[in-house]
Chains A and B, each alone.
Chain A
């Protein structure tokens, strides 16, 4: 492990741009935010994104940005392990791959060989595919799946674009999941803002760079006041030795400030990591209890033992008893 990291660049000191999208209006808009960055023209984003042996944990400290066009698939069926909230046609899309945050348990670490972020600037192609997919039947679309789109609002307004698309497309419901500090929402019945809520102890240890609990609760309150559809995600809960105290004090704050009459639904779940990726996670985060936990393997995933899982999710359920309708609580 390298001790001296004082010489690391600031995040996004380099922006790799596919030559084919150099003149794209979104490319120009994004690059306007990075006037001091070095722009490196590239032929294909995978030449940078997929390089072998990348140091993901170091890249996460000073990640670079890639602007590209996605000529491949843009829409994917939701994984069985994902909570579908009762929707049959449940898909996700990744107009951005990679996240400016760095959660130790994030599945992106397993999926991708890099800590860098790629923004696909051919957004209109994504819109086309989504409109096709919801032409015949209602579609529930996770738009902020491989990233936190709200966190990128200062660079590109994709979360707003997805929200506006849902607002004008009767068959489309969009979910935008976030841990971001930035608060700006578009209230509409088919736009769901899903806020991940974690105790500050978990935020500071395992969800690097994300907003504090207070900030997240303020965003929830603001979104509710604006009339947005708001989902609270107590997911993933992470085990610590004092998890009961941490999560109880978190719930004290949530229950004090959030008007549950304005909440659409709640999801609860604990950490789960694909068994295929667990070794990689442990190599990337050797000091993180979130991934070093002695998990049990179940249906291809590393999960907490049933008893612990039930105790942890039960803690949140019991705190919501009498406050929130049990039928609208989804437990993984």
Chain B
């Protein structure tokens, strides 16, 4: 699953259209493997909206979070992957883990509380640090991506922020989302749960069940057919009590480790 966050609707619009996301209310748009949220502008709005989405959809560590949007900077029209986020108010730094090569140029970004009038080599936005902080409670830093397209060189530069202007700038970020979706293919292991089956056969207590699960997993790492080995041990035994089950477990362990 990919969670996408953008401050403004026009920033998200190309993604909503491309992936035919459905409006679920509360500025949340949902599609196949995507939950996208318009957070509103500024850190407080961002933290609140991200927190709400995360608590409703309860992501796992393996899911991804992407903050897309525009930022002030000197290379107008260029798209950047952010490798360092500085919160100017708190003077704290945050670092998304840069493990995947998305083919994008990288830059540092500073999150500010009011619109900047001039820029330097950094990018500037108003939400990223709050999004990082909130998302990091749910998702690992290798699965956080901050993608920004430079929209203007600061408030003094008279850029006209029409929704069309922003949506046009953002259309190239759709390709980044497509690339992230290909990364999000998983191996889903469908366990034939022999632990359930044999813990019943062996009258396992909770403790024994955990031990059995560990041994079955160890057998898998050794390429040993745990089921066949257990059947072999059980074949000449009459198991009627937990004590009998304990003996089978001990024999299983001994056959795997000697």
- Same complex origin of A and B: yes
A-B contact pairs, 10 of them (CB 8 A): A2-B186, A3-B187, A7-B100, A7-B183, A38-B98, A42-B95, A54-B141, A59-B99, A62-B99, A292-B218
Question: Does A135 count as interface, using CB distance less than 8 angstroms?
Answer: no
Question: Does A321 count as interface, using CB distance less than 8 angstroms?
Answer: no
Taking CB atoms, residues of chain A closer than 8 Å to B114 are none
Q: Which interface class (under 10, 10 to 19, 20 to 34, 35 or more) fits B? A: 35 or more
Taking CB atoms, residues of chain B closer than 8 Å to A51 are 95, 97, 136, 141
Question: Does A72 count as interface, using CB distance less than 8 angstroms?
Answer: no
Which one of A8-16, A154-162, A193-201, A215-223 is at the interface? A8-16
Q: Which residue of chain B has its CB nearest to the CB of A285?
A: B221
Question: Does B196 count as interface, using CB distance less than 8 angstroms?
Answer: no
With A and B bound together, what is the CA distance between A1 and B140 in angstroms?
13
Taking CB atoms, residues of chain B closer than 8 Å to A52 are 136
A129 to chain B, nearest CB (A): 29
Question: Does A40 count as interface, using CB distance less than 8 angstroms?
Answer: yes
Partner of B97, one of A59, A287, A294: A59
Question: Does A284 count as interface, using CB distance less than 8 angstroms?
Answer: no
With A and B bound together, what is the CA distance between A55 and B108 in angstroms?
22
B197 to chain A, nearest CB (A): 20
- Dominant secondary structure at the B interface: mixed
Judge whether A8 and B97 touch: CB under 8 Å.
no
Given A1-B62, A294-B257, A13 and B222 touching (CB < 8 A)? no
With A and B bound together, what is the CA distance between A241 and B219 in angstroms?
10
Judge whether A294 and B215 touch: CB under 8 Å.
yes
Q: Which residue of chain A has its CB nearest to the CB of B142?
A: A55
Q: What are the 5 closest A-B residue pairs judged by CB atoms, nearest first?
A: A289-B221, A53-B140, A292-B218, A55-B142, A9-B101
With A and B bound together, what is the CA distance between A304 and B254 in angstroms?
12
Interface centre among B97, B106, B214, B218 (most CB of A within 10 A): B97
Question: Does A43 count as interface, using CB distance less than 8 angstroms?
Answer: yes
Given A2-B184, A13-B101, A48 and B95 touching (CB < 8 A)? yes
User: How many cross-chain pairs have Cβ atoms below 8 Å apart between A and B?
Assistant: 109
Partner of A292, one of B93, B187, B217: B217
Given A288-B221, A293-B257, A9 and B99 touching (CB < 8 A)? yes
Question: Does B172 count as interface, using CB distance less than 8 angstroms?
Answer: no
With A and B bound together, what is the CA distance between A59 and B100 in angstroms?
10
B161 to chain A, nearest CB (A): 30
Question: Does A183 count as interface, using CB distance less than 8 angstroms?
Answer: no
With A and B bound together, what is the CA distance between A52 and B102 in angstroms?
23
Taking CB atoms, residues of chain A closer than 8 Å to B84 are 40-42
Question: Does B182 count as interface, using CB distance less than 8 angstroms?
Answer: yes
Within 8 A of B (CB), among A298-332: 304-305, 307-308
- Cβ contacts B157-190/A at 8 Å (1 or 0 each): 0000000000000000000000100111111010
Question: Does B61 count as interface, using CB distance less than 8 angstroms?
Answer: yes
Q: Which residue of chain A has its CB nearest to the CB of B61?
A: A53
Taking CB atoms, residues of chain A closer than 8 Å to B189 are 1
Taking CB atoms, residues of chain A closer than 8 Å to B224 are 241
Judge whether A8 and B99 touch: CB under 8 Å.
yes
With A and B bound together, what is the CA distance between A9 and B103 in angstroms?
10
B181 to chain A, nearest CB (A): 10
Judge whether A4 and B257 touch: CB under 8 Å.
no
With A and B bound together, what is the CA distance between A305 and B256 in angstroms?
12
- Cβ contacts A51-65/B at 8 Å (1 or 0 each): 111110011001010
Judge whether B102 and A7 touch: CB under 8 Å.
yes
B110 to chain A, nearest CB (A): 13
Question: Does B78 count as interface, using CB distance less than 8 angstroms?
Answer: no
With A and B bound together, what is the CA distance between A8 and B142 in angstroms?
11
Judge whether B101 and A8 touch: CB under 8 Å.
yes
B241 to chain A, nearest CB (A): 23
Judge whether A53 and B141 touch: CB under 8 Å.
yes
Within 8 A of A (CB), among B70-121: 83-84, 93-95, 97-102, 106, 108
Taking CB atoms, residues of chain A closer than 8 Å to B185 are 2-4
Within 8 A of B (CB), among A251-289: 286-289
Taking CB atoms, residues of chain A closer than 8 Å to B93 are 42-43, 47
Given contacts A3-B186, A51-B141, A58-B99, 4 further A-B contacts (CB under 8 A): A14-B83, A54-B97, A58-B142, A62-B99
